[in-house]
Structure 1
Amino acid sequence: MSEPSLEYELARRQSRRDADELWRFVRGELTAWRKDDSSKAPPVARRLEKLQDSVRQYHAVIRGDLANLTVADGWETWRRREADQLADLMRRRIDFLQNPPDCATAKKLVCNLNKVCGFGCQLHHVAYCLTVAYGTGRTLVLNSRNWRYNRAGWEQVFQPLSGTCQDAGGRSKAAWPAPVLGVGLIQRPPACVCLIQLPATVCLIQRPPACVCLIQLLSSQIIILPITGRHLPGTADTQVLTLPIIDVVSPRPPYLPLAVPADLADRLARLHGDPSVWFTAQFVRYLMRPQQHLQNDLDAFVKRVQLRNPCVGIHVRRTDKVGTEAAFHPIEEYMQHVHEFYERRQMEAGGGDGSRRCVYLASDDPSVFQDAVNKFPDYTFLGDPSVSKTAAVSSRYTDASLRGVITDIHALSLTDHLVCTFSSQVCRVAYELMQTMHVDAADWFTSLDDIYYYGGQSPHEQTARFAHQPADGSEIALSPGDTVGIAGNHWNGYSKGENRRLKKVGLYPAYKTRDKLRVVEFPRYPEVPLVL
C-alpha cells in the first residue's frame, strides 16, 4: 500500500492552520473596527458586517476544499490503518508494563490519588503517573483508597490498572529521587530536624529514632508516606518509588507532557496534527476503561438523549471557576462557533440536508440550558440539566457528581467538534478521548480562552517559519529558526510568547510559527511486537 510523505502530510495540515489563522485575524480586525467610534455610522457598520460574513464563507469553502483533498488523495485507508496500529501498539505496551509476571520482584511506581482538585484534574494526575511509569519502565500501582469521589477506590468505577500487580510492597522503597542540595535547614525542639526544599511544598523530616518520612503538603491535608532512610532519596535500583504530584516533582523527569517517544515520533508527526496530545490520550483512554455497570449507564444515556452525528459539543464552565481561573463567556459566543462549524460542514457536503442542527450541551450551571433553548430555537440541544446540578460545588464529591462528569466527558468526546474553554480540564479530557476515536481530531475544537495544555507540562515551544518585524512595542521580532515559548493564542491572528534567543516576550503573527515536537527517548519495549 502506498504511503503519503511526511512533507505532504505536514503541508496539508499547515494549509488548514494557515486558513484558520487568516480567518481569525480578519474576524479580529473587523470586530475591532466595528467597535471603533469612526465605524459606527450605519453604512460603514453594514459594510463591515457584510465583509466579515463574506470572508467567513470564503474560509468555510477553503476548509471544505482542504477536507475534500484529504479524502481524494487516496491515502485515507493508510491513515486509518496507521492510526489503528499505533493505538494498538500503545495499548499492548501499557498492558505489558502493567501486568508483570512476578509482582513481588517487579519495579513499581506508586501513585497516590490524593490531589485536592476536581475529577479532570485528578484524572490528569493519574495519567501523569502512568506516563512516568511508562517512561521509567515501572508498573504503576495506584493507591486510591478513600478517594474523595468514591471511598472504595478507582477500581469501583474504572477497570483495574493491572490484573497481576496491585501490591505496592517491595524489598526497598523510597520517594522519587529528589536532590537535597540547596535546601533550608530548620532546627525544631526537641531535636527535630526539618529539611525544607524551597519553594516547593515538600519536606523531608527526620525524627528520632531515625524515622524518615516524606510529607506532601496538599492544601490543608498532610499525607505521610514512611520510607527507609537507607534508600532516601531513591535510585534507579530502588524497587518501589513513590511519585509526588506533578506540581512539586523534583528532579522533573523528561517524560512529562508534551513529550513524544523517539521511536514513535516520525510516525506520529506524519499521522496526527498534535502528536503530544495523541500520546497523552492513550494513557487517558487506558485509565478510563469503565467497569461494565458504568459502561451500561453511558450507553443508556447516549441512547436516551439521542446523541447523533454530526453534533457539536459545548462545555460551559461557570460556578467556582469564573472570575478566578476563567472569564465569563455568554452562550452567544459559543454558538457563533457552532454556526461556523455547520457552515463549513454544509460547504463540504455541497449543501445542507435541512435537518435541525444538533448541539450537546454540558455545564455546571443548569440555567444555561434554558438560556440556550430560548435564544437559539433553530438548534436541537441535547443533554441533561440534572447532571449540571450534581456539578455544584456543594455536591461535587459525590457518586452522582462523579457519574455526571464522566457522562458529560463521554458524550462530549463523541461529538464532531468541541466549543469550550481549555482552561477547563473536563473539556481537555473530552478532547483527549476524542483523539482515540478518530485518525486525527487535532483541530476538532474551538477554545474561547487557552490553547491546549497539560498542567505541569514541559515548555510548549514553537519554531519560527518566517521573519517578523514588530509593528509596535507589544510585538516581538522573529527570525526563521527562532525558538518561541508560546504562552497562548489570542485567537485573533496573534499568539503571545517568548523569543528564547532575544529573551523578549510579546505578540507575533500565529501563522509565522509552527509547533516544535518535543522528542524524548522512552523505553522501546522490544518484548512487544510492533504489529500483531
Structure 2
Amino acid sequence: MKIHRDPPRHVRNTKLSSNQDDTGDDQQVLVDRFFAARRVKTGIVELWRAIQSEILNFSGGTKKAKVLGKLKERYNALLIDMDELLSFDDQWRSELAKQATNEVAETISRLQNPEDCNGSRLSSGMIECGFGCAMHSLVGRFDHAIAQNRRFIINGSQSDYSNGLDVIKENFKPISSCPKENTDLVYVNSVCDMEGCDLLNKTKEHSSNIRDYKYVHVSEITSFHMGAFKPLGASKQLWTKIVNFHGNPTAWWKGQLLRYIMRPNEAIERMLEEERAQIDFGEPIVGVHVRRTDKLFLPGENAKFHYFREYMKHVDDWYDRYELQMRKLGAKHNIHRRVYLATDDVFVWEKEVKSYSSYTFLGTREFSITAGSSRSSRTSENGLRSIITDITMLSNCNFLVCTFTSEVCNAAYELKQTYSVDASDDAVSLDSMYGVVGLPNKLLKAVYDHTEDKATSNMEFKPGDDVFILKNLWNGTYDGWNGRTGNAGIFPSYKVQYEGKYCSKQTKLFRKTFITVD
C-alpha cells in the first residue's frame, strides 16, 4: 500500500539508547531538545489562533482578510522551518517507535496466541452503540486484559451497525488463535480501579483479589481513559518510550490496539484495496469527516452543527502550507487539490461541495444517501462495511479535518498514528480536542504566574503547578483546572508547557466487571 507523505527531508544521524531508564546525559539532551522544539511549534500554533481571534474582532471585513492572508504565509513558513528543526530527531525517534511497536506486537501475540488456551483470560461483549463507539469500548477492555496479562476474548459482537450480524467474525480476523469457548458460567460482581480489581461484594467463598481467578468477564466499563493518565496496559518503561517520540501517546497506544482488532479478513481487505486503488494515496489528499444527522440531537451527545466551509478553511490552510513547502524544495508544478469526503449528510455532496470547483472530491457518496435515509439502512451490512471503509480511508490521508466528538473521527486519527512515527499534528478538530470531553486530557506544567479573574473566568496558578487541560478554546487559551488548588478556569496557552509528564492513577474512577469462578 503506497501512501503519500510530506516531502522527503534529510534524516540526521542522531541515535538514542534503547534503554530509556539508563539514558546518558548526551542522549537526554536529544530528548530535551525535541520537547523544546515541540513546545515552540505548539506556541506558534497557539499564537496564530490568538492572532486570528483578535483580528476577527476588528471591523472592516476586507481589510481583515488581507491582513490575515499576509500573516498566514509567514505563519506557514514558520511551521515549515519548525518541522525542519524537528527532523534533526527523526532517526532516534524512529528507532524508539520501532521498539515500542514491536514490544506491543509481541505482547499481543503472546497473550492472544498462547500455547495453553486455558490460561488467564478476560472476555467482553460489544456494547450496542455506533461502530466507532463499540470499537473504542473493545479497545478499553483489551487494554484492561493486557494490564492483567490475560488473553482477550470477544463474546458476541453485535452493535448498532451490525443489525444482528457478528461484527468481528464477518469483517475482521479472529482476535485469538484459541477456539471459542463456553462462557455461560456464574458471575460475581466486582469493581476495578487502575491498579487492579477487587470484589465489590466480598464473600467468604470468594477471594477479594481478581488475579486469583482465571476467567474474568467485563460487562461494562463505567470510566473513561483520560489522556493525562498512563493506560492500564502500558508499562512505565514502554510509556516513557512512547512519550519521548510521540506528540499524543494516548492516541498512539489506542491506535495499536484498534489496528489489531480491526485487521480485515480477506473479503474486507479486497474491498479496501479496491477503494485505495480508486483514490490513489500516492498523491496528497486531505480527509474530511462531516458528522451530522442523529449525532446532533441524540441524548448525551456533545456535537454541534458545523458548516462545510468551516471544514474547508482548514483544508485550504493545509494545501497552502503544503504548496509553500514544495516551492521551497524547488517544485514548479501545481498541486492537484483532492479531498476524501466521508459524511452521513448527502446534502454535503449535493450542494455544499459545488462551491469548491478547484477541488476534486472522492468518497462513498452512496453511503451518505444510505446513512441519511433511515437508521435501518445505516445499520445494514452495507452500512457497516461503508463505515469501515471510511475510517480506513480517512486514516490513510495526509491530513484529517473532522470533529473529535465523533467516534469515527477519533478512530481514524488513532489508526493514522500507526502508519508513521508521529502523526499527532496531522489532524484538526472543529470542536473538542482529542480526548474525553470535560475530563483531563493533558497534563501541563505552569511556567508563569496567572492571576484569578472571576469576571473573565480566569483561574490562578503559580510556576510549577500541575495544570490539566479540559478543553482547547482554539483562540490561544485553554480551559482547565489546577491540580494544586482544585480550581478550574481559563488561562493563556503560553503560560503552561508540556513536559511529557503523566499520572499513573485515576483515583475514584472505576470499572464494573464480573468475575467467574473457574
- TM-score interval for Structure 1 and Structure 2 normalised by the shorter chain: 0.7 to 0.9
Q: 2:481 is matched with which residue?
A: 498
Report Cα offsets for 1:226-278 as digits up to 9, x if no partner.
Answer: xx9943876210111111322269xx9x9874885301133222211111211
Distance in 1, Cα, partners of 2:323 & 2:169: 44
**1:510 offset after TM fit, Å?**
1.9
Matches within 5 A, 1:62-461: 62-71=78-87, 73=88, 75-104=89-118, 106-113=119-126, 115-144=127-156, 146=158, 148=160, 149=162, 151-164=165-178, 166-167=180-181, 169=183, 174-177=188-191, 230-231=205-206, 235-247=210-222, 257=231, 260-323=234-297, 324-350=301-327, 353-392=333-372, 393-454=375-436, 460-461=442-443
- 1:480 equivalent to 2:463? Answer yes
Moved more, 436-445 or 362-371: 362-371
Cα offset, 1:92, TM superposition: 1.2
Q: How far 1:24 moved relative to its partner?
A: 0.6
Question: 2-side partners of 1:19 and 1:168: how far apart?
Answer: 56
Question: C-alpha root-mean-square deviation of aligned residues, in Å?
Answer: 3.0
Flag the 1:258–1:396 CA change in 2: closer, same or farther, 3 A.
farther
TM-score by length of 1: 0.80
Deviations 1:331-364 (A, max 9, x none): 1111111111111112222266313211111100
Decide which moves more: 81-90 or 448-457. Answer: 448-457
- What is the identity, as a one-letter code, of the residue corresponding to 1:484? V
The alignment status of 1:518 with 2:498, answered yes or no, reads no
3-state SS in 2 of match to 1:391: helix
Higher relative contact order (CA 8 A, sep 6+): 2
Asked if 2 retains the 8 angstrom alpha-carbon contact of 1:314 and 1:360, the reply is yes
Corresponding residue pairs, total: 461
Shift of 1:484: 2.1
Aligned-pair identity (%): 31
- Structure 1 stretch displaced more, 166-175 or 47-56: 166-175
Tell me how far 1:373 sits from its aligned partner: 2.8
Larger CA Rg, structure 1 vs 2: 1
SS for the counterpart of 1:518 is: coil
Moved more, 232-241 or 168-177: 168-177
Compared with structure 1, are the counterparts of its residues 298 and 321 closer, same or farther at alpha carbon in structure 2 (3 Å cutoff)? same
Match of residue 525 from structure 1: none
SS in 2 for 1:116: coil
Q: In 2, Cα distance between the equivalents of 1:147 and 1:368?
A: 27
Asked if 2 retains the 8 angstrom alpha-carbon contact of 1:482 and 1:500, the reply is: yes
Which SS does the other structure have where 1:488 is aligned?
A: strand
Distance (whole Å) between structure 1 residues aligned to residue 230 and residue 309 of structure 2: 37
- The question of whether the paired residues in 2 share the 8 Å contact of 1:256 and 1:458 is answered with no
User: Distance between the aligned counterparts of 1:173 and 1:427, measured in 2?
Assistant: 35
CA contact (8 A) 1:469 1:478 kept: yes
Residues 339 and 361 in structure 2, CA contact (< 8 A), matched pair in contact too: yes
Task: Give the aligned residue type for 1:243.
Answer: V
Q: What SS does structure 2 have at the residue aligned with 1:325? A: coil
SS at match of 2:277: helix
2-side partners of 1:255 and 1:243: how far apart? 21
Cα distance 1:83–1:385, how it changes in 2: closer, same or farther (>3 A)?
A: same
Q: Distance between the aligned counterparts of 1:261 and 1:390, measured in 2?
A: 43
Give me the TM-score of the superposition, normalised by structure 2.
0.82
Q: Which range moves more in the overlay, 316-325 or 419-428? A: 316-325
Seen in structure 2, the aligned counterparts of structure 1 residues 455 and 245 have a Cα distance that, compared at 3 Å, is farther
3-state secondary structure, aligned to 2:428: strand
Moved more, 5-14 or 464-473: 464-473
CA shift for structure 1 position 456: 11
User: CA contact under 8 A between 1:390 and 1:404: conserved in structure 2?
Assistant: no
Partners of 2:392 and 2:310 lie apart in 1 by 23
| 1:133 maps to amino acid | A
1:48, 1:466 → 2: CA distance? 31
Looking at structure 1, the residues matched to 504 and 233 of structure 2 have their Cα atoms a distance apart, in angstroms, of: 6
Is this contact kept in 1: 2:440–2:468, CA < 8 A? no
Q: What is the rounded CA distance, in whole Å, between the counterparts of 1:335 and 1:370 in structure 2?
A: 16
| Secondary structure of the corresponding residue to residue 210 of structure 2 | coil
- Residue 460 of structure 1 and its aligned partner are, at CA, apart by 4.2
* Superposition deviation, residue 67 in structure 1: 1.6
Looking at structure 1, the residues matched to 231 and 303 of structure 2 have their Cα atoms a distance apart, in angstroms, of 22
8 Å contact kept, 2:341–2:361: yes
Distance 1:498 1:147, change over 3 A: closer
> Could you say which residue in structure 1 is the equivalent of 2:72?
56
| Residues in 1 aligned to 2:242 and 2:96: alpha-carbon distance in whole angstroms | 9
List per-residue Cα deviations over 1:82-110 (Å, max 9, x = no partner): 32232122111111011221112x11111
> As a proportion of its length, which structure holds more strand?
1
Alignment partners' CA distance in 2, 1:154 and 1:88: 24
Deviation track 1:20-41 (CA, whole Å, cap 9, x = no partner) reads 00111111111222xxxxx2xx
Query: What amino acid is aligned across from residue 100 of structure 1 in structure 2?
Result: P
User: Quick one: distance in 1 between partners of 2:207 and 2:219?
Assistant: 14
Change over 3 Å in CA distance of 1:503–1:80 after alignment to 2: closer
Cα contact 2:93–2:421 (8 A) shared by 1 = yes
